[in-house]
Each structure stands twice: as C-alpha cells, then as structure tokens.
Structure 1
Amino acid sequence: MVNSLIVGITGASGAVYGVRLLEVLRETPVETHLVVSKWGQRTLEHETGKKLDDLRALANHHYGAGDMAALMSSGSAAIDGMAIAPCSARSLAAIACGLSENLIHRAADVMIKERRPLVLMVRETPLSAIHLENMLKLARLGVTIFPPVPAFYNEPGSIDEMVDYTVARALDQFGLKVDLGMRWRGGLTRRVASSER
C-alpha cells in the first residue's frame, strides 16, 4: 500500500501533468511531497498560469530544489515512491548517471537505491540514442519509463480528458486506482457523438 509519494516537476513541457497528479492525489489518503526545479517553475507559469504557491497548496509538504537536507534526500525516510511529471531529458540523464544536481535528482537516486517505485514521465521528442540509452539503463534498474503518450481508443473530447487518462495510468504504476475516465473494457465499440445522433 502506497501511503506517501514524491511529486517532482522539472522544466520539460507538460507541467499540467504534475499539476493534475497533485490535484488527484489531494483526493486520496496519500501524503504528497512536492519539489519543483527552477525551470519547472518557469514552465509551470508559462504553460498553466499557475504560481508555485498554487502547487504548494495542493501538496502536504514542499521543499526547495536546492534543499539537499530535505526529508526525501535520505533512504531512511519512509516515502513509498516518486513520480517526476514531467521529466526533462536533462533530469533523465542526471538520474541515469547518478548525478544529484538537485533535490529531484537526489530523491530519484534514493528511490533507485532503496528499490522503491520511480515513474519518469519523460517529455522529449524525437528521442535521440542518448535519451533511449538513458531510458534503457534506468528501465533495467526497475524504473518505470512513462512518456505521457495519449490514448485515443477512449475517444477523448478534450485535452483535460487526455491528461486525466495519462495521470490515472501513471498512478496505476503505484497500485493506486483512481476513476478519471474510460478504461479499456474490451471490444471495439464507438461512442456516438451528440452531433451524430
């Protein structure tokens, strides 16, 4: 049972994934620990219009990216897992090389060494051989590489529905089942739009 999760937000495009992850976790008993990088904050403001304080209000605990003495920097802290949403290619590389440049990287390193769930929502395209090698290296260590690729079988009607689907699937990786929309139920039946009725 997952009781606590770290949510890291880096400077890659897709800040909405981190925001929505926190919003959904707010409605669960899971205790959240938030850390946002400098460029994560800038991207958050640019893409969503939200401020860092808006995010902090959604989390149970929050830390500065430079606070290497924070709770999550030690494996002795009983935090059950971590999601980085979104995860930049730079953070992917730092984690793959064990470089704890900031608290997000250090917390990810702790998850790996303690064999706790780590989900990286890597946002980069196209992917170079360097990116792919970093992903493969981490996947072999048990890290879940989770690019936020939308699904279309559920016929999303908005960006919000696409984000919700991805967030629900990311939380599945921690054994957290949330109801944010249509899941695959087998068969190929198409929803009929109101304009087609």
Structure 2
Amino acid sequence: MTATPAAGGAAPRRVIVAITGATGAVYGVRLAQVLRGAPGVETHLLVSPAGVMNLQHELDMGKGEVEALADVVHNVRDVGATIASGSFRAHAMVIAPCSMRTLAAVANGFSDNLITRAADVTLKERRRLVLLVRETPLNLAHLRNMTAVTEMGGIVFPPVPGFYQKPRTIDELVDHTVGRVLDLIDLPELAQALAPSWPGLSSQA
C-alpha cells in the first residue's frame, strides 16, 4: 500500500503505530483505521506478540487484518528496520495501548525490540511520542515511569473516557480518545471528525 501524496508533492507525514499487550487493542486498531488512506499520511505498524493475543481475544481480529490497515508493517524483532534510526523522519509515534512493561522499557531506555527502539528514537529526535498507558490501579513504579517519560518529552495519555460529549456507544468513547490523540500528533483535520472542539457551556441564569 502506498500513502496518498501530500498537497504540493510534499513528503508524507509518517506515523508509527504500535499495539502492545495491554487491554484496549481497539484504540490502536481505530487509530490505524482513521489514518488509512488519509491524504499525506504514511502509517508504519508494529504489533507485539501479546498485542496479537489481545487483538484475537478482545476484537476477534487476526494479525493480518490489522496489518492490512497500514502502509508499512514492521517485525517487532527487526531492530535494523528504517524506523530504528533517527535519520528516518517520522512525524510522530503512538503506542496504543501501551503496556506497563513497554512503558518501563521506554522510561529506562531499554530498547530491546523495535517498538521500544522506535520510541527511544522518537524521544531522542525530539519528536512527538504518545503512550496510551493502560493499567489500574497504578503502583509507584508505574507512576515513576510515567514521570520519567514525561520529563523526556513524551506524552502519557491514559485512555480515560470523556463523558461531556454525551457518548451513546463504546465506539463513540473510543473515537473521542483517538480524536484527542490525533490532535496531539498535529493531525487536526482528522481529529475534528472524531472529537470536535469543545464549544463551552452556556452560562446559567
């Protein structure tokens, strides 16, 4: 699959999407669905072995079905892939969902697979990294790892549902979170359809 060229023939905005073993595989899948075919966007997908298990358990989806949504698919063990280098100009990286194990590896610079290596590269190159960390309750190690990632410039984004948009379905809750993520990685043209800007509350008499 080839990304649709950006306006004026500009280079595509490359977005790396990683799905790990935390619950919430739907967030990564929905993000990949929205990015698919978006003008000027090229998606690079990684799915960990535990992520594959969750896709099957939570969504009844096979790995191939998710891979079909991406422009480029990488093997998690291929640390020699393009996205392992800072010379590969990625626009942003999103780990959705992000397991506590992956969070710990990113927080401590432990690049033991392509997901954590690509995240490390994203941070060192001062590019946008968003982690949809998924665990509850949180212990002190989790909190310290979140602080470390934040101090390095990453964005910790627990997929906490917002109810002010009055969602009626789980799909609407998921879309709102994904829309917020798209805003964070500077793709507002895609975000607005899922999570419109807050209009404010009317003043009460």
Give the TM bin, normalised by the shorter chain: over 0.9
CA distance in 2 between partners of 1:109 and 1:85 (Å): 16
Which SS does the other structure have where 1:45 is aligned?
Answer: helix
Match of 1:28 among 35, 38, 48: 38
CA drift at 1:27: 3.9
CA distance in 2 between partners of 1:37 and 1:100 (Å): 14
CA drift at 1:2: 7.4
CA distance in 1 between partners of 2:85 and 2:45 (Å): 15
CA distance in 2 between partners of 1:139 and 1:4 (Å): 22
Q: Is 1:154–1:182's contact at 8 Å kept on the other side of the alignment?
A: no
Deviates more, 1:173-182 or 1:72-81: 173-182
Matched letter for residue 142 of structure 1: G
Match of 2:118 among 107, 110, 123: 107
CA distance in 1 between partners of 2:196 and 2:181 (Å): 15
Which SS does the other structure have where 2:80 is aligned?
Answer: coil
CA distance in 1 between partners of 2:76 and 2:139 (Å): 27
Matched letter for residue 104 of structure 1: I
| Counterpart in the other structure of 1:185 | 199
CA distance in 1 between partners of 2:197 and 2:177 (Å): 11
Q: Which runs of 5+ in 2 are unaligned?
A: 1-10
Q: Is 1:2–1:175's contact at 8 Å kept on the other side of the alignment?
A: no
Match of 1:10 among 7, 15, 20: 20
The 1:188/1:166 distance shift into structure 2, 3 A limit, reads farther
| Counterpart in the other structure of 2:93 | 82
TM, length-normalised to structure 2 = 0.89
| Counterpart in the other structure of 2:156 | 145
Equivalent residues in 2 for 1:62-77 (5 A)? Answer: 62-77=73-88
Q: Is 2:106–2:119's contact at 8 Å kept on the other side of the alignment?
A: yes
| Counterpart in the other structure of 1:37 | 48
Deviations 1:111-154 (A, max 9, x none): 01111100000001011111111001110111011000000011
Q: Is 1:17–1:85's contact at 8 Å kept on the other side of the alignment?
A: yes
Matched letter for residue 159 of structure 1: I
Tell me the number of residue pairs that the alignment of Structure 1 and Structure 2 aligns.
189
Matched letter for residue 31 of structure 2: L
CA distance in 2 between partners of 1:3 and 1:67 (Å): 22
Structural RMSD (CA):
1.5
| Counterpart in the other structure of 2:146 | 135
Q: Is 2:110–2:116's contact at 8 Å kept on the other side of the alignment?
A: yes
Misfit runs of 4+, over 3 Å? none
Matched letter for residue 17 of structure 1: Y
Identity of aligned residues (%): 52
Q: Is 2:18–2:115's contact at 8 Å kept on the other side of the alignment?
A: yes
CA distance in 2 between partners of 1:151 and 1:183 (Å): 13
CA distance in 1 between partners of 2:202 and 2:164 (Å): 8
TM, length-normalised to structure 1 = 0.92
